[in-house]
Amino acid sequence: MLKTKLALLIGCLSFGVNAASFETVTLGSKGGIQDGNLTAFMLKSEQDDNYVMLDAGSVVNGLIVSEQKGAFEDVQVPADSKYTKVGYLLKERVKGYLISHAHLDHVAGMIISSPDDSHKPIYGLSATNEALMNNYFNWSAWPNFGNEGLGFKLSKYTYTDLPEFQWQEVKGTSMQVMAMPLAHSGGQSTAFMLKDKVGDVFVYFGDTGPDAVEKSDALSKVWSTLAPFVKQDKLKGIVIEVSFTNQTPDKALFGHLTPNWLLKELTALETLAGKGSLNDLDVVISHIKYSLKKGEDPQTVIKRQLDEANKLGVKFHFPAQGDALSF
């Protein structure tokens, strides 16, 4: 009895100290080539019930797998709803898409589910929105479900251009978003910082190469923007890619990171925010490619290479499709 009460008390205390700010569900964990499990995360603030989708490589399949894994056990579908839980989540609880760039592995799920989706904004840098309307929602690759672009506009999705480095409302949620450009093999990608009502932030990175390889200062600008939040202990977690192992030469990175490059980039953030400032920071690794080869899984290698060289004390996570995480 006492034991139970004590455990309960400790549980409550630790909950009080570590109260979560954000929750993610991984709808797709891979950077390729596994259709059905491509980059997509649902994110919500603990202060409200509605989600935003961070990239949308796999959507409905991600929801199905996540529901089967119990990621949405707390979600109640209203009795008068005509939708399954998957349908209810997609149509009622996901209030918009934040698209980092228009590569297919980041948007395929959104395109395929669009006929049955609800009206939503698509938030992105103007180059991303333009690529979506020119290459996909153009009546050639797919009907035009957007409110701009070629031919008749079905206007299910409202393209919403985000200005760089400015806070914007994420409609239907209690969060705000700031878009920060990234360099991705000559193209543009985006990091999105989400801020909740009390000022805690979470950052999602789309595909990105290291500044030194991209000959860019994009990540450097992101780190300068994040450093004040780190100093104030407001940065609750990040999702960032590591597509390749350290064995991959720089010329074969095509706008992606390795364990060494990620640690180098994170060290740049630590340098700005102060020694030890990233200790215990939750860092979710995304975009590892599914491997067709026999032998060691690239994820095992990447995890080992990150752990071996982790002098920053960050906590790396490798969620599988359907895994929910709190930050």
Q: Give residues in contact with Zn ion (CB under 5 A).
A: 31, 103, 105, 207
Record the tokens describing residue 272, joined without a space: 């700005």
> Cβ 101 to Zn ion, closest distance in Å?
6
Helix (H) or strand (E) holding 201: strand 201-205
User: Do 147 and 158 form a contact (C-beta atoms < 8 A)?
Assistant: yes
CB of 208 vs Zn ion, minimal distance in Å = 9
Q: Looking at beta carbons only, is 147 or 189 nearer to Zn ion?
A: 189
Using the minimum distance from each CB to Zn ion, give the nearer residue, 105 or 196. 105
Minimum distance of Zn ion from residue 189's CB (angstroms): 6
Which H/E stretch holds residue 246? none
How far are the Cα atoms of 128, 181, 195, 265 from residue 206, in angstroms, in the given order?
Answer: 12, 9, 17, 15
Nearest approach, Cβ of 234 to Zn ion (angstroms)? 28
Residue 18 tokens read as 């570590």
CB 187 within 8 A of CB 100: no
Rank residues 85 and 103 by Cβ distance to Zn ion and give the closer one.
Answer: 103
For the CB of residue 292, give the shortest distance to Zn ion in the complex, in Å.
17
Contact status, residue 38 vs residue 108, Cβ threshold 8 Å = yes
Give the phi and the psi of residue 203 in degrees, each rounded to 5.
Answer: -125, 130
Give whichever of 124 and 143 is closer to Zn ion, judged by the CB atom.
124
Q: Which is nearer to Zn ion, 105 or 282 (CB)?
A: 105
